[in-house]
């Protein structure tokens, strides 16, 4: 492992980014837009060649062998430079973390190097039309047939599906087991016969996600990641990593707070009305509290990421509503305010719904009783 302090590494990263940020695509966040797939791959290759990919992964799988603190420093410097820290969340965080924690040496050798070089893009096949927030209610089936699994079902809200080479898939392998106990976690080649993708048009006019239909899809036995029927643990481990990265840096939140202050003036230089001033001050205070809390979050993901995710999501939703109110009738037409309001509800779903975050906070942080189940 490199003998390099976090601060030395941070300085190295900042200097490199200052020189190379012009080579990066715009900072698109966790989800790689389909039209930036080629640019994202090229950027991933660039940061890999410079030693900034797989920073805390073992050197045996192509990483740099540093610590999560070094990785957090890289993400922070990328946020300051306004460039993507990696190709996409699903591959470099969810899939990579799951493979490191549960993969066999053969699986790690096959998949990890191609993730950090940008050779392969990964997508996530978890949510279903009737099992989004209630992921344990998924009905996609994987039936073992000799040395293969045959998969049938439907997935929805799949990010990067149409540009992905591989995917991580949760499917039910024991229909008679309790909901959380009969699920397995698979690695799937998206070019496998029987995989069909259809873009989903959102109300803001974009099509960031796909629905995926799986019909008689045959997966080799070594596609199983982790134990048979033990996929719930693998999936939850991956999602905890996601929530940790969503709240890993307060840089973007700080920029939003600065933008809120700019909202305090009308285009003609006048002041807002007293009610708008009061609402804006309340939103800015909430955001500042979230930013301060985020500075206490360490580089390793935990359930505390649910607090940051919920708080930031609801703050941005309420800010979009206020911006629309301030725009007046013009917000009924095209424009930034209208687009922001149409996009805001999606954040309450992505990365774990706001309802699920409240359950996690209540049960795992506050120690409240579990939410009652229907009919119990």
Helix axes 231-246, 305-327, angle to 10 degrees: 50
Measured between its terminal Cα atoms, the distance across the chain in Å is 53
Residue 312 · residue 295 · CB < 8 Å? no
C-alpha 212/C-alpha 85 separation (Å) is 27
What CA–CA distances, in Å, run from 288 to 256, 279, 317?
A: 10, 14, 16
For residue 127 the two structure tokens come to 């949510």
Residue 345 burial (10 A CB sphere; 0-12, 13-18, 19+): middle
* Orientation of helix 68-81 relative to helix 251-262, angle to 10°: 30
Kindly state the DSSP code that residue 36 receives in the 8-state scheme. G
Q: Scanning the structure block, which residue is given the tokens 């919920």?
A: 310
- In order, the DSSP letters of 295-358 are TT--SS--TTHHHHHHHHHHHHHHHHHHHHHHHGGGGGSSSHHHHHHHHHHHHTTTTS-HHHHH
| SS3 (DSSP) at 252 | helix
Verify whether residue 242 is a known catalytic residue: yes
Helices (H) and strands (E) in the chain, counts: 12, 8
Which three-class secondary structure state does DSSP give residue 131?
A: strand
Are 277 and 214 in contact, with CB atoms under 8 Å apart? no
Of 8, 242, 330, 334, which is the active-site residue?
Answer: 242
- Residue 110, by phi and psi: left (phi above 0), alpha (psi -120 to 50) or beta? alpha
Distance CA 253, CA 294 (A): 10
Q: Do the beta carbons of residue 252 and residue 259 sit within 8 Å?
A: no
Residues that are catalytic: 242
């Amino acid at each position: 492992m490199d003998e390099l302090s976090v601060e030395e590494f941070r300085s190295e990263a900042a200097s490199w980014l200052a020189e190379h940020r012009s080579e990066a695509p715009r900072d698109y966040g966790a989800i790689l837009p389909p039209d930036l797939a080629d640019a994202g791959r090229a950027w991933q290759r660039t940061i890999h060649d410079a030693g900034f990919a797989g920073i805390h992964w073992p050197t045996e799988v192509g990483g740099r062998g540093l610590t999560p603190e070094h990785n957090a420093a890289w993400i922070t410097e990328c946020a300051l430079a306004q460039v993507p820290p990696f190709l996409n969340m699903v591959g470099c965080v969810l899939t990579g973390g799951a493979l490191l924690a549960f993969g066999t040496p053969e699986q790690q050798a096959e998949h990890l190097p191609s993730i950090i070089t940008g050779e392969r893009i990964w997508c996530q096949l978890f949510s279903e039309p009737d099992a989004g927030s209630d992921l344990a209610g998924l009905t996609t089936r994987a039936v073992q047939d000799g040395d293969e699994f045959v998969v049938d079902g439907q997935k929805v809200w799949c990010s990067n599906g149409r540009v992905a080479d591989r995917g991580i898939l949760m499917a039910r392998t024991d229909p008679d087991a309790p909901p959380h106990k009969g699920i397995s976690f698979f690695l799937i080649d998206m070019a496998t016969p029987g995989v069909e993708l259809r873009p989903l048009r959102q109300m803001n006019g974009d099509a960031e996600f796909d629905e995926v239909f799986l019909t008689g899809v045959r997966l080799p036995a070594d596609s199983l990641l982790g134990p048979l029927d033990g996929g719930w643990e693998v999936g939850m481990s991956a999602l905890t990593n996601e929530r940790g990265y969503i709240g890993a840096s307060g840089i973007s939140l700080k920029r939003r707070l600065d933008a809120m202050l700019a909202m305090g003036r009308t285009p003609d230089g006048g002041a807002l009305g007293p009610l708008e001033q009061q609402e804006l001050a309340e939103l800015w205070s909430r955001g500042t509290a979230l930013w301060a809390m985020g500075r206490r979050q360490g580089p390793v993901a935990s359930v505390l990421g649910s607090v940051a995710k919920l708080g930031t999501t609801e703050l941005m939703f309420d800010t979009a509503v206020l911006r629309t109110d301030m725009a007046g009738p013009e917000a009924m037409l095209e424009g930034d305010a209208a687009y922001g309001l149409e996009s805001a509800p999606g954040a309450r779903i992505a990365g774990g719904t706001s309802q699920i975050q409240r359950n996690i906070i209540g049960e795992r942080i506050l120690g409240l009783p579990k939410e009652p189940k229907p009919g119990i």
